């Protein structure tokens, strides 16, 4: 009986929400969202000098990673404008919605992974080739393609040399142990927080 009551209440709320959306009277799909500015300017960590890569390569990689804004997604707190300086490039506990929260009550969420070379939680076991491939064409070892939330389509014109410098720099960072939450599929409720990027076009008024 109690469950039936709950069910009825839920369907009533759903009808109410749909009703509002249909006639657009006072329905605000952004009501549950807060507008924030992501942090885009912060110093990239120094790489540890290594016999495998030249100083020029590591400096170039650090410059490129700062310029391409990898840390704005792959650093805790950066997506919400509050960078955790002790976890630079070590992944984000705040995810990014890849399906529209206006359409899905529970959108799909991806959590930008740890890019430091920690063996368990980061890129410690990744080969240089795998990293270069991920940066240039968004594919993993098994040729499965990452969602374009990771903006690999924007990096498609990067030269092999620059992609290699980025990979060398990431491989030479101090490993930081930090496990990001697992990605959440569309329709499942996410326990960890997430942001949503969007461009909204005005609708015709008549």
Given the rule CB under 6 A, which residues bind ligand HEC? 65, 68-70, 72-74, 96, 110, 112-113, 115, 131, 134-135, 146-147, 149-151, 155, 166, 183
The residue to which tokens 């740890």 are assigned? 114
Whose Cβ is closer to ligand HEC: residue 90's or residue 150's? 150
**Nearest alpha-carbon partner for 91 in 189, 202, 192:** 192
Whose Cβ is closer to ligand HEC: residue 126's or residue 202's? 126
Q: Strand, coil or helix: what is 15?
A: helix
Per DSSP, the residues of 165-186 read HHHHHHHTSPP---PPPPPB-T
CB of 65 to ligand HEC, least distance (A): 6
Whose Cβ is closer to ligand HEC: residue 15's or residue 147's? 147
State how far the Cα of 118 lies from the Cα of 196, in Å rounded to an integer.
Answer: 28
CB of 156 to ligand HEC, least distance (A): 12
CB of 68 to ligand HEC, least distance (A): 4
Whose Cβ is closer to ligand HEC: residue 63's or residue 106's? 63
Q: What are phi and psi of 106, to 5 degrees?
A: -120, 95
Helices and strands, counts by H and E, the chain = 5, 3
CB of 118 to ligand HEC, least distance (A): 11
State how far the Cα of 30 lies from the Cα of 195, in Å rounded to an integer.
Answer: 12
Whose Cβ is closer to ligand HEC: residue 20's or residue 39's? 39
């Amino acid at each position: 009986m109690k469950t039936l009551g709950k069910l009825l209440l839920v369907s009533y709320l759903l009808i109410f929400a749909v009703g509002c959306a249909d006639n657009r009277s006072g329905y605000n799909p952004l009501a549950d969202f807060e507008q924030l500015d992501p942090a885009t300017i912060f110093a990239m960590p120094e790489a540890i000098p290594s016999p495998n890569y030249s100083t020029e390569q590591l400096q170039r990689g650090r410059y490129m990673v700062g310029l391409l804004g990898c840390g704005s997604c792959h650093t805790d707190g950066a997506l919400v404008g509050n960078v955790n300086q002790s976890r630079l490039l070590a992944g984000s506990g705040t995810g990014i919605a890849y399906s529209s929260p206006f359409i899905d009550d529970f959108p799909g969420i991806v959590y930008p992974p740890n890019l430091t070379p920690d063996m368990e939680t980061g890129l410690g076991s990744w080969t240089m080739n795998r990293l270069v491939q991920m940066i240039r064409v968004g594919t993993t070892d098994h040729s499965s393609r990452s969602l374009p939330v990771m903006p690999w389509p924007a990096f498609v014109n990067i030269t092999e040399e620059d992609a290699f410098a980025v990979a060398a720099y990431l491989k030479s960072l101090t490993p930081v142990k930090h496990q990001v939450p697992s990605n959440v599929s569309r329709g499942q409720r996410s326990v960890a927080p997430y942001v949503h990027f969007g461009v909204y076009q005005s609708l015709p008024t008549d």
